[in-house]
Amino acid sequence: MLSKQEQRHIYYDHDLKIEAYQLSGIVQKFPNHFHEYYVIGFIKGGRRHLQCKGQEYDLASKDMILFNPHDNHFCAPINDELLDYRAVNINKDIMQKMVYQITGQDYLPYFKQNVVYQCDISTSIDELYHAIVHQADKLKKEETFFFLLEQILKDYSAPFQDVALPQPRIEIQYLCDYMNEHYQENINLDDLCSMTHFSQSYLLRTFTKQVGISPYRYLQTIRIDQSKKLLESGIPPVEVAHLTGFSDQSHFTNFFKEFIGITPKQYQNIFKEGDEDE
């Protein structure tokens, strides 16, 4: 049951093929997780403590947040202040297409910093959010999206292939690949250890250090990402829960809301009607 001051809105724009969302009046903590897509957002109001890839930040109004796919992060309120947050989610294929339109080059960008304090670009994010929410003319949305990405690409990104990123050791990458393929199965710690000959304690410490997230959180994040794709295609939430390895629909709904901020049904509704508030 949402409090009167708490609002969670998410919208899918069929022209731009991106999601825009708002969390306001929120004191919820979000667990350590990552996304398969890019996130460009900003703090509209309130303060928030963010940890991303081992770095810690205290965020306030007008601070911009940039997440690459697989940037692990979690956040919590500061002094129980209510969060007002706006953001857009951009799938990798849409990002690559936009990069080519803007730069004439075919690559995926890498955001070189996750937080930009007191950033004027936050007003452009807000403008894009409102253009999507209020169903502005397609040209208006396209232009706003183009100029926002153009500025971010120019000031805060580099081609992904040009960035020297630390890679997990081959055994840990194998476990990640295994969970990506077998996320619907009941995977346990003994299963993972048998694939590497690591002890349980060594596997947990090494995986968490190199990936930035524990094996359990990694698996749950993959399951949530896969569930979003199934929900977008119209599969009922109760079936999605089964197909993505959750024990039941209640378990699935609790995890989905913990990671995404809304229920699976609310998320699915934005693709059916453009409105998550059923």
Q: What is the pLDDT of residue 63?
A: 97
| Domain match, 142 and 178 both | no
- Residue 216's alpha-carbon distances to 66, 155, 179, 189, 244, in angstroms, are 25, 35, 10, 9, 14
In a domain, 278, yes or no: no
User: Domain range spanning residue 217?
Assistant: 170-272
Number of domains forming the structure of the chain: 2
Mean pLDDT (the chain, rounded): 92
Domain boundary among 162, 188, 222: 162
pLDDT digits (tens, 9 = 90+) for 151-188: 999 999 999 888 888 889 999 999 999 999 999 999 99
More confident residue, 70 or 162: 70
pLDDT-derived band at 277 (thresholds 50, 70, 90) equals very low
- pLDDT at residue 274 greater than cutoff 90: no
Q: What is the four-CA torsion angle of 136, 137, 143, 145, rounded to 10 degrees?
A: 40
pLDDT higher than 90, residue 203: yes
Q: Tell me, what CATH number does 149's domain have?
A: 2.60.120.10
Mean pLDDT, residues 8-21 taken together: 93
Per-residue model confidence (pLDDT) at position 180: 96
Instruction: Answer yes or no: is pLDDT of 198 > 50.
Output: yes
Q: Are residues 56 and 157 in the same domain?
A: yes
How does residue 273 score in pLDDT terms, banded at 50, 70 and 90? low
Rounded-to-integer distance, Cα 240 and Cα 253, Å? 10
> Looking at 136, 162, 188, which one is the last position of a domain?
162
| Domain match, 23 and 158 both | yes
- Do 103 and 138 belong to one domain? yes
Pair 155, 174 in one domain: no
SS (HEC) of 70-129 = CCCEEEEECCCCCEEEEEEEECHHHHHHHHHHHHCCCCCEEECCCEECCCCCHHHHHHHH
Domain boundary among 111, 134, 162: 162
Provide the pLDDT for residue 28: 81
Establish if 195 belongs to a structural domain: yes
pLDDT greater than 50 at residue 278: no
- Strands of 48-52's sheet in order across: 30-33, 73-77, 48-52, 55-59
Q: Are residues 126 and 26 part of one domain?
A: yes
CATH code of residue 256: 1.10.10.60
pLDDT tens profile 130-149: 999 999 999 999 999 999 99
